[in-house]
Structures are given as C-alpha cells and as structure tokens.
Structure 1
Amino acid sequence: MATLQFPMRLPADLLVELGELTGIHWNSWELEPVICDAIRRYMQPPAPAAQEQTSPTSGAGYQWKQLYLPEGTRLRAAFGRKPYFAVVTGTEIKCGERFVTPSAFANLQGGGNRNAWKAVWLRFPGNEQWVLADVARSRQQAAIARLFAGAEG
C-alpha cells in the first residue's frame, strides 16, 4: 500500500479530544492508525448486524468488572487495521461461534497481551456511537461516585 506524505491540519482541540478518548497522546504517531480507521469507517460504515429480538427489560447482559454490558452490546477491536466484532448474547460475549471474555476477545488476533480496556470499543444497544471500554468504565465510575455522594449526609 502506497503512503503519501503531506501535512494535514487538524484543530488542536480535536486532537486533544481524540487523545483523551483513545489514551494516546495527541502528538504521537500512534494516533495515525486510529485516524485512518475513523476515516475508513466514515467512508464505509459496517453493515448493521441483524438484531435479535430481546426485551430491553430482560436484564440479560454481561458484567465486566464495574461495567455492565446489556444484551445486544457490540464489541469491536482491530489488529493490523482489520476490525473484528463480537456481541453480548444473553449473559455471554459471542464472537463468531465462540464465547469469549473481553480479554480473550481483545487478544483473539495477534496473540499479544493487550489490555481489553484500551483495545475494545463498545456500542451499546440503541446507540450508534462507539466508545472505548476504558472511557465507558470511567463514566460508570463517575456516575456511581455521584450517586453515593448524594446519599452521604
């Protein structure tokens, strides 16, 4: 694959925001594949998966430490710029025909020791936005802290 070398101008606040979302410092070359992946996804979004008929009040889902993934949550990771996906089905995470943990899913490709919180992106049912698992966990922890802060007194 040919690579063209020319400068691109991006707003500083956008790069800072992207760095906060991914955990990669905004002036690092490590952001390049993230930016390329975002552009590719924008140009060719993945086809929507067939949604299984589930009741939103069924309570089914996967408890990943502090983070609850309701049934229908999609997981995405990538290796070598090639994405792979899984979905929460019942109380398990299913990737193809296999049931996996978030860590096993993050490390399905490449055989490395990747941190699932930093490598897995989540798309919750009814939401079109993908969010990094570590960001979702931080938001959940902040929500819980606010809940208990209001109970003190």
Structure 2
Amino acid sequence: MDMTHHVYTELYYQMRKREDHRTREEVVLIALKEWMARQYGQPTDRGYQWKELFLPHGTRLRISHRGLCYFAQVEGDLLMAEGKIVTPSSWAMEVCGSVRNAWRDICLRRNHLEPWTKASDWRAAAGDQPRQPGVNRRRRARRSTD
C-alpha cells in the first residue's frame, strides 16, 4: 500500500471527524511549517501556558496509571486529550479517577528526540530555586512554626 495514500486517508478521516472545513493542502502546509519550526529550532509563538511552564505546540503529555499509558497533546493554544479540551489537573483527575498532583503524575516530551521527563522536573528547571523533597519541606515548615 502506498504510504502517502494511507496518510491522506487518515488526514481526511480526522478532518471529517472534527468537522474541519480546511482543504487537505492547507492542513499539510500548516503541518510542514510546524514540523520545520520544531526540527530546526525556530521559535513558535503557539503553545499552552501551564503556570510558569510554557508547553510549545506539539508537546505530548503522558500519564501512566494502572499499567496503561494515556496521552494528551498541545494543539495550538489548547491541551487536547481524546478530542476534548482539558487542563493538566482535570486530565489527571479524569484518567486516575481521583484528585492527583498533575506536576508529579504527568510526563512531558516536547519533541520526538527528547526522553519523557516528569513535569515537576521541567517546572524545577524553569524556577529559580532547586526542588526540595516534599517530606523535607514539610519537616522544615513544622519545625519553623514550633
């Protein structure tokens, strides 16, 4: 089977499913521009702002829960999971079925060349202060109030 035909068929299916009225050529041009921006390090102004962490368009998010992996992706300025607009915390809560710390449970990958990295590690790298283990922070807080 010709792979180009397979890709165009999948593109057509996804566009119809989302009622996207752009032409295939328009979507392919957008995809090529975004791919070049990611591959060749050109800055992109589209992305999702998660507190102090900026997730550029195309960033993938993953939660592993009970042996299964769940994925979301930044599309434009939105975080999308299974075709729905979500926030990191609402997505973590929906996947796990209870209130979760999204920073701890979500792993990020900004492009296919990077390994999956915990969101909390990205957050710590973006902040000024090094990250302290939670137990030590609580212990210090208790002692300072005594």
Question: Which TM class, normalised by the smaller chain length?
Answer: 0.5 to 0.7
How far 1:108 sits from its partner (Å)?
1.8
Find the residue that maps to 1:142 and give its secondary structure. coil
How far 1:126 sits from its partner (Å)?
5.0
Please state if 1:110 is matched with 2:96: yes
Q: Which amino acid aligns with 2:108?
A: L
How far 1:99 sits from its partner (Å)?
0.8
Question: Whole-Å Cα distance in 1 between the matches of residues 96 and 51 of structure 2?
Answer: 24
Runs of 4+ in structure 1 off by over 6 angstroms are none
Residue pair 1:121, 1:133 contacting (<8 A) in 2 also:
yes
TM-score by length of 1: 0.56
Counterpart of 2:80 (choices 85, 94, 118) is 94
Q: Which amino acid aligns with 1:135?
A: D
Question: Whole-Å Cα distance in 1 between the matches of residues 73 and 96 of structure 2?
Answer: 20
Equivalent residue for 1:57? 43
Aligned length: 92
Residue pair 1:70, 1:125 contacting (<8 A) in 2 also:
no
- The answer for unaligned runs of 5 or more in structure 1 is 1-51, 144-153
User: How much is the aligned-residue C-alpha RMSD, in angstroms?
Assistant: 1.7
Q: Which amino acid aligns with 1:84?
A: Y
Residue pair 2:44, 2:56 contacting (<8 A) in 1 also:
no
Please state if 1:127 is matched with 2:113: yes
- The answer for unaligned runs of 5 or more in structure 2 is 1-30, 130-146
Q: After superposition, where does 1:2-151 map in structure 2 within 5 Å?
A: 52-53=31-32, 54=34, 55=37, 56-142=42-128
Q: Kindly indicate which of the two structures has a greater share of residues assigned to helix.
A: 2
Find the residue that maps to 1:109 and give its secondary structure. helix
Q: Which amino acid aligns with 1:98?
A: K
Query: Percent of aligned pairs with the same residue?
Result: 37
